Chains A and B, each alone.
Chain A
Amino acid sequence: MTQALFGQLLVGLINGSFYALLSLGLAIIFGLLDVVNFAHGAQYMMGAFAAWMGLQYLGIGYWWALLLAPAAMGVLGAAVERLLLRRLRGLDPLYGLLLTFGLTLIAEGLFHQAYGNSGYSYPVPAALRGGVNLGFMYLPLYRAWVVAVSLVVCTASWFVIERTRLGAYLRAGTENPRLLQAFGVNVPLMFTLTYGFGVALAAFTGVMAAPVYQVTPLMGSSLIIVVFAVVVIGGMGSIAGSIVTGLGLGVVEGLTRYLYPEASSVVIFVIMALVLLVRPAGLFGRQR
């Protein structure tokens, strides 16, 4: 009984790692650019596909993919910001949401057309195959790796944004871009790079997910709604909030799957509704 419980908690933590990585990217983009990036799921999917295509057509392995896929997607993201999103700055955030939602539909449609929806298997890299028996469950090495990487990446991102000079510029840019520009900081460039970084983070998560989940055009859409709920619960734009809630909700979901599996798909939304009732700005959100 307790064995199973520990197992579920650990599994929840693993899923939470994916939620945290994805919601981190969303939180950064929303927090700094005020853009609700609905394309995050599609960007995650494209990251996974980039890894798969790299392996399939170019023989690029997992480790290089971990570097190259986010880099390529980051450049693409920067281009999207430069060419499209920038034009919507200052308008109601709804426009950004619609634009990114449209981009999602286009991307998913194109990949669906080209690759069908059964998707493809991406092999677990040789160095991370196998697993360890923890007594209460068998932990695949790769999943342990996911948790570790997620913690490192999340902590590092939080540190950069909340504790460094660069981060201070970024935060200042959201509060008052014109004033910051007056100090000689290239604010538009900063926004482009931030969006590129957020997209790269989504693609990075995609590559991390490729060996675990089937790589399919719809892999992002089934995840993104949950991730949005995570961001809302954590507090829109709160970096630390998104990381902590991501991990926490993964665990809650794991517990629900253990206690009453039928509710596992709604439990996060129930929590979201409750949190919004009590704290409309989210658990870690600041009233702006």
Chain B
Amino acid sequence: MQAKILSLDRLDDLATALAIFSTQAAEAVAAIRAELLRQQAELDRQEEDAQVEVSNRIEAFQYAADDDERESCVYFLAEAQERLSRIRGWQARVREEHSAFLVHAIQFARLLDQTLPKSQELLNARIGDLRTYGAVQVEPGVGAAATESASGPVPQPSGEVFSPRLTKLTEHRLPEGFVWVPLAEIDEAKLAGVASQDDYRKVPYTTMVTGLRRLAAEILPRINTNPDALDRDAFRHLDETARESYEDGLQRIYEAFFCEDFVYLERQRGQEKFEITNGRHRIRVAQDLGWEAIPARVKDLRS
């Protein structure tokens, strides 16, 4: 099969769409379950009312003064019993369908938690790889080290891109003072407050997803060649050349990770995991994108 990728931006869009779907789907399933539980509770309440009605009719029959009243009580008791029976019949059908729904909901949750992150990782690695080769071709001076390590063909003038291997994100070198911290070593306690896209007030979720993706695809490959030679001014210059505003450009992303607002983690003596001091939103997005690690400054007292 001939490898052919005619639009890398579309792959980028798909990766972003997957990350967004993952969040939206989890929220939607929670909403479905809440609504179904509310409806079931309403049905249970009707069953309780019907049960009380039957009890009342039986009591009325016991205290009936004469045959006419007893006959009337029997009529209404039969009606109440029929209603109770009908509701219980519905409850049985609901229980059956609810069990079937739960099976699918559990499978779907597993898919979102396990399969989807792996797929995102696969896609992101592919995009990072292709962008790296793209950068090698467009800017040979910046990507000199990458050129030496690239064993396969580079992008073709026709626009078709051929890629022989995946590049591991954590293989990129970082500026002095920064390290790759595996996400598995970060305490997730502080991530509870960033469970939905509504929790991204300062910078919208989709903007942050794009930022991390550009960090991986456009910033880290450039830093990789000489981690301490590139600074915010270098990325400002790139933005100006590309006619990108500060808000949409690389300088802002570079500053977010490697200047004043860097991700900062602390691990106390005797602790297994790092606590998040700064950067919980970025860490959550890194999880959504299927990253294994994130660049951060750390204070590690464990070792």
Pair from one complex: no
